[in-house]
Amino acid sequence: MPRQIPKSLLVALFGIAYTAIAISQTPLRIAAAADLEPVLPLILAQFEQATGIHAEATFQASAVLTTQIQNGAPFDLFLSADVSYPKRLIDAGLADAAGSPDSSTPIVYARGTLVLWARKDSHLPPPSLNLLRSPDLKRLAIANADRAPYGRAAVAALTSLKLYETLKPRIVTAENIAQTAQFVDTGNADAGLISLTSALTPRLAADGTYFVLPRDLYPPIEQGAVIISKTTQRPQVHKLLDYLLSEPVQSQLAKSGLTPVR
């Protein structure tokens, strides 16, 4: 006669199986910098097709996402537009970069590029450093330097050019880099200092032209990733990070306006 499995063991096995299924059905929650909005959704869709792991991204300014994580927002991974904000989370014990050579330093997954963008139907000359010096430039959109790394880069570039104080009264400040692009595309600004990822989107590529600012005008925009300490999906997060740093995806980032790190 077959030996009967104790009821308590069946309950325990069912609980383990139910938990495993629940975890597998819980999407990875990604806090993503606004400059990744034109790039990341396709990568996450490809990642799901390759691994079966579903991931969902929330796009905001890096500072806003940092505050949300500090306040307990249930993210698993933070993809910032710089390294300073994720480093704050590491220092506060709220995140780590486990698996990297130095777990106390964010994982750099890409580098950003700052460009000057204007609509093709603008009354101004095409984007260039001379455009920034033109008195006809009445409104220049930049991201909030207190919240968005691209905004800090914009202020640094204008300061390097000795134009910041001159242009300060004409600056239109957006919440993040995506909104900066929206301001200038909708005519609420004559030109904007935006990310190359935004400038290469189909809409902005059709509507306007851009000029790549010399990289020596602003500090490198190193975009850093950290794993949120409270995540219950650490293996899945590591798979996504490995995927993001893989050569094919790094090449894909390059085509979308980010400088690869591999």
194: CATH = 3.40.190.10
Instruction: Measure the CA–CA gap between 209 and 154, rounded to whole angstroms.
Output: 18
Tokens encoding 260? 């690869």
Say if 260 falls within a structural domain. no
Say if 262 falls within a structural domain. no
Element (H, E) at 114: strand 114-119
One domain for residues 94 and 15: yes
One domain for residues 50 and 72: yes
- As a whole number of Å, the end-to-end CA separation of the chain is 62
Say if 2 falls within a structural domain. no
* Cα separations in angstroms, 252 against 70, 128, 245: 31, 27, 11
Tokens encoding 107? 């994982």
Stated pTM of the model: 0.86
Q: Count up the domains in the chain and report the number.
A: 2
One domain for residues 19 and 137: no
Instruction: Measure the CA–CA gap between 236 and 258, rounded to whole angstroms.
Output: 24
Say if 261 falls within a structural domain. no
One domain for residues 15 and 107: yes
One domain for residues 73 and 12: yes
Instruction: Encode the chain (262 residues) as per-residue pLDDT tens digits.
Output: 445 555 554 444 444 443 344 345 689 999 999 999 999 999 999 999 999 999 999 999 999 999 999 999 999 999 999 999 999 999 999 999 876 656 789 999 999 999 999 999 999 999 999 999 999 999 999 999 999 999 999 999 999 999 999 999 999 999 999 999 999 999 999 999 999 999 999 999 999 999 999 999 999 999 999 999 999 999 999 999 999 999 999 999 999 999 999 7
Q: What pLDDT score was predicted for residue 99? A: 63
* Cα separations in angstroms, 122 against 114, 119, 135: 20, 5, 15
One domain for residues 207 and 79: no
Say if 31 falls within a structural domain. yes
Q: What pLDDT score was predicted for residue 23? A: 44
One domain for residues 241 and 145: no
Number of H helices, E strands in the chain: 12, 11
One domain for residues 103 and 225: yes
One domain for residues 231 and 106: yes
CA torsion angle for 196, 202, 204, 210 (degrees, to 10)? 50
Q: Return all residues near 211 (Cβ < 8 A) that are at least 6 apart.
A: 115, 116, 117, 126, 127, 128, 129, 131
Determine the structural domain holding residue 205 and report its residue range. Answer: 114-212
